[in-house]
Amino acid sequence: MYKSKIKTFYNHKQIVETNIELSHSKSPLKPKLLLKYLKRHKIQEEYLEIEHFKVFSQKDFLIAHTKEYIEAMYKEIKPSSIF
């Protein structure tokens, strides 16, 4: 057994399940599916320390993005000035 565990950052809010059946990519589900697998095989408890991180606020995103971009993202629209 290992003495220390791998710190793993996870928050259930990072998982996107809306319209996933219409998507070609299942990537948004990968963190959830991986943790489910690790739990089922009793790997998580032995090797991982799960840290449930705080979800970013709009203010946090403003550090690296414009206000217009963030507002469009929260409204789920493609910002025309960016793309």
What is the per-residue pLDDT across 7-27, written as a single tens digit (0 to 9) for each? Answer: 888 888 777 766 656 666 677
**Whether the Cβ atoms of residue 26 and residue 42 lie closer than 8 Å to each other:** no
**Whether the Cβ atoms of residue 33 and residue 24 lie closer than 8 Å to each other:** no
What is the predicted pLDDT for the residue at 78? 72
Mean of all residue pLDDT scores within the chain: 80
Tell me: pLDDT of 31 over 60: yes
What is the predicted pLDDT for the residue at 76? 76
**How many Å apart are CA 23 and CA 38, to the nearest integer?**
25
- CB-based contacts of 69: which residues, under 8 Å, 6+ apart? 79, 81, 82
